[in-house]
Amino acid sequence: GNSVTQMEGPVTLSEEAFLTINCTYTATGYPSLFWYVQYPGEGLQLLLKATKADDKGSNKGFEATYRKETTSFHLEKGSVQVSDSAVYFCALSGPVADKLIFGTGTRLQVFP
Amino acid sequence: NAGVTQTPKFRILKIGQSMTLQCTQDMNHNYMYWYRQDPGMGLKLIYYSVGAGITDKGEVPNGYNVSRSTTEDFPLRLELAAPSQTSVYFCASSYGQGPNEKLFFGSGTQLSVL
C-alpha cells in the first residue's frame, strides 16, 4: 500500500545552515505530496505541496520537488532560522478517498 | 479566528475509564477527522466525517466512537480506556475532500492510560 518514509531526527543545525529533510514514498498511481509543519504547542499546518511529477512546492523559503523517478519529495531550505525549529511531516494523498498518509515526522532544532 | 480547537490538552485516565475528546471548528468546514500519533509513528486516521450526521471509520477505529450532530463539533469518545490508547490525538478539518485539500489541525490532546 501507499506509505511514506522520512529520515529520523532530530536534525540539529546552527542558524543559517542548509537544511535537507529526506522523504521517500511508495504509491500506486499519482498521489499529491505535502509537507506539514508543527511548531511547539500548535497543530500541524500545511507548509507546501506538489500535485504532479516535477512540480516544485515552495513557501517561507522552503522548497520540495516531486521526483517521480526517485519517488522522493525532499524538503530543503538554504538558510534556517531559530524560528524554523519544529517537527516536519511528509505526507501523500492515499488511495482511499484521498485520505492523507503521514510519515513519522522529523524534529528540527536550530541553535543560534 | 480560532480555527480548530481541541480540549483538553492533557489527560491521564485509568484503565477502564471513559472520556470524550472535544473538537470544534469555526470555519464551516464539511470534513472533519480524528488522527492519533504514537511515538515514532506517523499519524493514523481513526474516524472521519463528511458532514453533519455522517461518519465513517478510518484505519484504526477500534475502541473509539464519534458523532457529528453539528457542522462545528466532532467529539471522539473512548468507552473503556486501555493502555494501547496512550497517544497524542489530533482533530482536523477541511472544506472539501480531495488530493489538494488543505487540512487545518488542532493543537492536540496528549492522553495517557495507566
Residue B79, phi-psi category: left (phi > 0), alpha (psi -120 to 50), beta (remainder): alpha
List, for residues B8-63, the tens digit of each pLDDT value: 999 999 999 999 999 999 999 999 999 999 887 888 999 999 999 999 999 899 99
Lateral strand order in the sheet of A62-65:
A19-21, A75-77, A62-65, A56-59
- CA-wise closest residue to A4 among A75, A109, A104: A104
Measure CB to CB from residue A102 to each of B43, B98, B104 and give the nearest one. B43
Side chain identity, residue B46: I
pLDDT of residue B97 exceeding 90: no
A65-102 pLDDT, tens digit per residue, is: 999 999 999 999 999 999 999 999 999 986 555 578 89
Q: What is the pLDDT, as a whole number, of residue A58?
A: 97
Q: Which of B5, B33, B37 to mutate to test the interface with A (most CBs of A within 10 A)?
A: B37
CA dihedral of residues A25, A26, A30, A32 (deg, nearest 10) = -30
Q: Return mean pLDDT, chain A.
A: 91
Hey, is the C-beta of A29 within 8 angstroms of any chain B C-beta?
no
Average pLDDT of every residue of chain B: 92
pLDDT band at B88 (very low <50, low <70, confident <90, very high): very high
Interchain proximity A104–B106, CB inside 8 Å: no
Q: Is the pLDDT of residue A62 over 60?
A: yes
Enumerate the β-bridge partners of residue A44: A38
Q: Which among A38, A98, A102 has the least Cβ separation from residue B98?
A: A98
**Nearest residue to A108 via CA among A22, A43, A50:** A22
pLDDT band at B1, cuts 50/70/90?
low
Q: Contact, A6 vs A21, CB < 8 A?
A: yes
